[in-house]
Structure 1
Amino acid sequence: MPSSERNCDFVLAGNINLDFIPAFIASPGAEDSWSATLVPGKLIEVGPAVLSTGGSVANTGLALRRLGHTASLFARIADDDHGRAIRDLLDRQAPGASDHLILSASGSTSYTIVMSPPGMDRLFLHGPGVNDQFTDADVPLAPLSGCKIFHFGYPPVMRRMYAEQGRELEALFRKAKGAGAVTSLDMSKPDPQSTSGKVDWRTILERVLPFTDLFLPSFEEILFMLRRECYEDLERTHGCGNAAKGQTLGIVRELAGEMIAYGCAVAGIKLGDQGFYLRTASDTSRLAPLKSKLGLDDAEWTGRELLSPCFETAVAGTTGAGDCTIAGFLAGLARGQSPRQALTSAVAVGACSTEHPDATSGIPPWESVQRRIDAGWPRIVTASPGFDWRRDEEFGLWVGSLDGGFGAA
């Protein structure tokens, strides 16, 4: 392996798939819902389909490359048309991006049909394919030893990573931590009717989070895993797939507190169009890897609580926006940004992603993102989250009372 690849900024591993994204010609009526739209025998006329790479490895990895970072991508594909399409699409966007993909001897490449009509939440039809075969052994030690940050995404759609109470996932994160990398973990929401939806995710997180520096799920994902009854109550109230409509900062804070208690140093919760919430451990020693590996100021990063509203955009699609938000956050850390700066960069990159139908083609170079922020890019106006939050006017963020010094750094 060339030294340039051993010493890359990021190693990305986990889920990859081929996305089919049909363009919907007309917005559904106000009375429409998925239950009324997906009716046997009904014909829905659509426009041309966008064919793109998808999944955590492709979305976050390509976004990081577009931001100007080096990133090695480790994921499984099969020797089939979909696998060859993934290789071609990756290398067209970033030459050499497919170099570390692992070719499975059997099985089929993962794919997702993404249905995203204007005015309705997205719906995904996902075939996990050979992602189910991914194991700890698929990520070699050498690149982990040379990178700054190791990021893994979507264990709920990778059977070997959640089987046996997450034994393979724990082994992989132990290995990455032992190699000296800052470790980062993203999730996807399990299908409640699948095997993944029936495993004990709390136990898996208890095993893995002590070796996880950055844990970055969405509200729905972590609510499903830690508060299943609450998740189901919100779905009954707001409709299937709409639990996020019932999210409150009280619940978000409680979830983040549990995540920190299980061992992660930084808990980030993606809140969709409501922004991105960040909480960091109050124990300075837990933040030590961020200081030693990334050169971050541990005083700035210890005991923080921030909420960042989204930036205004003309939304063309939201597929992969969460993955690109994570890319912006990780890039901010790798570049030594403060919590406020990194959180701002996160939602800015996520916003850029939504300006194109696919996940990553709208991501410009890092310097362009920062210039747009500095030029006064408007944020979506949000009311005060509560009496114990205050506005940081310089960054347009909200600072919570759990923050060390209530707004210091």
Structure 2
Amino acid sequence: MRITVAGHLCLDIIPNWQRGTLAALRPGNLVHMDGVTFSTGGAVANTGIALKRLGFDPILIGRMGDDPVSEISRSILRRENISPDYIALSPGETSSYTVVLNPPDTDRIFLHYPGTNDSFSVKDIDFGTIPPGIFHFGYPPLMRQMYVEQGTHLENLFREAKAHGLITSLDMALPDPNSEQGQVDWKAILQRVLPYVDLFLPSLDELLLMMDSSAYNRMQRGLLPIDTRLLDDLSTRFLTWGGNVVGIKLGEEGFYLRTGSKAGNTFGEKWRARQILAPIFKVQVQGTTGAGDTTIAGFLAGISMDKEPEEVLTLANGVGASCVEAVSSVAGVPRLNCVEGRIHGGWERITPTILHGNWHLSHNGVFLGPADRRYT
């Protein structure tokens, strides 16, 4: 099954920040760096290159200008043996870039220029040339044409993908709450798009900002209790809106999965009515850039191989864990057999702290909730 990754594509510029904290960023200060890494970023590059490194042959679709940022990005893709031919070239436009500030033991800060991502549209995708399989789209909150007009263009994109018989997948991104995309009615957009989405794979912070900004603000201040009850409530709403499979990335707390009865029609009976929390693996974290995107690469890889939901989540967490063992977004991702070897070799997991109620540990290392059809 071929995997196509479309959407947000940029160049990540990552200063190698070995000492000090963000507190050093004061007017007039010189903050010493230890080199710089150029890495393609965004959902297209991170998820796509991770799939290639795992051993798959993804198709990458995006939009860039005719500038040095585009040239560097395309050269990186070629070094990864990925053709940039599906990436639309827009003369006169400036390509997107992100400066990633990643000091030790601190989550990242992004300085982002949207560039050609804001002009990306369904016209940049020739669905007639995409082979059967999975169509994954990433980061509509960072792509203006995807959220203006109440998400009409995003809906049309997914409607078109479904019309061509593709399994559809959607990843989100965290919009700036003070920007245009942060003021959009994302609940309304999701309600119109999710009926055409088979796999909805956002992170918890993205969901809270879009669904309940006050809850997001409380979470940022450590005042919102996070447990599986919250995840159950959110996922149930998305299933009601038409979603098939809802996977919520939780960082150190793992990967939560909830599916409805319709999931069995698309992915087989083993995917119907599931409620699973998969713990992360223990690693020495070097950088978190690309962690979510590479986790999704593992998830899509598992789907393409027709694995059980428990196996898909475990593989996804294994790929994400491998990613954070390196500074850049995909350098830590090895071949698929290496990830599977570590998993089967007894790779230590970290027990989640957010379990509430009668969840129990299954024989394959994931937790099943009381709504799971295999729960006993």
User: 2:374 aligned with 1:395, yes or no?
Assistant: no
| Residue pairs, 1:47-196, within 5 angstroms | 47-96=34-83, 98-144=84-130, 146-196=131-181
Residues 347, 258 of structure 1: alpha-carbon distance in 2 compared, 3 angstrom cutoff: same
Instruction: Kindly state the Cα deviation for residue 37 of structure 1 after the two structures are TM-superposed.
Output: 3.7
The equivalent position to 1:334 in structure 2, one of 274, 296, 304, is 304
Distance across 2 between alignment mates of 1:400 and 1:179: 35
The equivalent position to 1:39 in structure 2, one of 26, 30, 43, is 26
Residue 265 of structure 2 aligns with which residue? Answer: 288
Q: For residue 262 of structure 1, what is the amino acid of its counterpart?
A: W
The equivalent position to 2:197 in structure 1, one of 192, 209, 212, is 212
Contact 1:77 1:110 in 2 (8 A): yes
User: 2:202 aligned with 1:233, yes or no?
Assistant: no
Distance across 2 between alignment mates of 1:185 and 1:14: 10
Secondary structure of the equivalent of 2:232?
A: helix
Residue 345 of structure 1 aligns with which residue? Answer: 315
Instruction: Kindly state the Cα deviation for residue 382 of structure 1 after the two structures are TM-superposed.
Output: 3.6
TM-score (norm 1): 0.89
Distance across 2 between alignment mates of 1:287 and 1:353: 31
> Quick check: 376-385 or 309-318, which moved more?
376-385
Distance across 2 between alignment mates of 1:152 and 1:287: 22
Contact 1:321 1:354 in 2 (8 A): yes
Residue 200 of structure 1 aligns with which residue? Answer: 185
Q: For residue 81 of structure 1, what is the amino acid of its counterpart?
A: P
TM-score (norm 2): 0.96
Instruction: Kindly state the Cα deviation for residue 100 of structure 1 after the two structures are TM-superposed.
Output: 1.0
Percent identity of equivalent pairs: 43
| Residue pairs, 1:360-375, within 5 angstroms | 360-375=330-345
User: How many residues were matched structurally?
Assistant: 376
Secondary structure of the equivalent of 1:325?
A: helix
> Quick check: 204-213 or 101-110, which moved more?
101-110
Distance across 2 between alignment mates of 1:143 and 1:398: 40
Residue 290 of structure 2 aligns with which residue? Answer: 320
Distance across 2 between alignment mates of 1:130 and 1:73: 15
Q: For residue 195 of structure 2, what is the amino acid of its counterpart?
A: P
Unaligned runs of at least 5 residues, structure 1: 1-7, 29-33, 291-297
Residue 24 of structure 1 aligns with which residue? Answer: 17
The equivalent position to 2:6 in structure 1, one of 4, 13, 16, is 13
Distance across 2 between alignment mates of 1:223 and 1:143: 36
Contact 1:324 1:360 in 2 (8 A): yes
Residue 223 of structure 1 aligns with which residue? Answer: 208
Q: For residue 79 of structure 2, what is the amino acid of its counterpart?
A: R
Residue deviations 1:337-362 (CA, integer Å, cap 9, x gap):
00000000000000011111111121
| Residue pairs, 1:294-313, within 5 angstroms | 298-313=268-283
Distance across 1 between alignment mates of 2:321 and 2:190: 29
Instruction: Kindly state the Cα deviation for residue 289 of structure 1 after the two structures are TM-superposed.
Output: 2.4
Instruction: Kindly state the Cα deviation for residue 314 of structure 1 after the two structures are TM-superposed.
Output: 1.4
Contact 2:253 2:354 in 1 (8 A): no
Residue 249 of structure 1 aligns with which residue? Answer: 228
Q: For residue 248 of structure 2, what is the amino acid of its counterpart?
A: I
Secondary structure of the equivalent of 2:264?
A: helix
Instruction: Kindly state the Cα deviation for residue 207 of structure 1 after the two structures are TM-superposed.
Output: 0.6
Residue deviations 1:288-336 (CA, integer Å, cap 9, x gap):
222xxxxxxx221100011111111111111001000000011001001
User: 2:345 aligned with 1:379, yes or no?
Assistant: no
Q: For residue 151 of structure 1, what is the amino acid of its counterpart?
A: H
User: 2:352 aligned with 1:359, yes or no?
Assistant: no
Contact 2:227 2:355 in 1 (8 A): no
Secondary structure of the equivalent of 1:256?
A: helix
The equivalent position to 1:264 in structure 2, one of 217, 235, 243, is 243
Contact 1:223 1:230 in 2 (8 A): yes
Instruction: Kindly state the Cα deviation for residue 22 of structure 1 after the two structures are TM-superposed.
Output: 1.0
Distance across 2 between alignment mates of 1:69 and 1:333: 12
Instruction: Kindly state the Cα deviation for residue 384 of structure 1 after the two structures are TM-superposed.
Output: 7.2
Residue 31 of structure 1 aligns with which residue? Answer: none
Distance across 2 between alignment mates of 1:356 and 1:348: 14
Residues 315, 286 of structure 1: alpha-carbon distance in 2 compared, 3 angstrom cutoff: closer
Unaligned runs of at least 5 residues, structure 2: none
Residue deviations 1:68-95 (CA, integer Å, cap 9, x gap):
1121111011100000000001110124
Residues 364, 322 of structure 1: alpha-carbon distance in 2 compared, 3 angstrom cutoff: same
Contact 1:260 1:266 in 2 (8 A): yes
Instruction: Kindly state the Cα deviation for residue 286 of structure 1 after the two structures are TM-superposed.
Output: 4.4
Q: For residue 234 of structure 2, what is the amino acid of its counterpart?
A: L
Residue 3 of structure 1 aligns with which residue? Answer: none
Contact 1:219 1:247 in 2 (8 A): no
Secondary structure of the equivalent of 1:268?
A: strand
Secondary structure of the equivalent of 1:46?
A: coil
Instruction: Kindly state the Cα deviation for residue 246 of structure 1 after the two structures are TM-superposed.
Output: 5.2
Secondary structure of the equivalent of 1:87?
A: helix
Distance across 1 between alignment mates of 2:25 and 2:365: 41
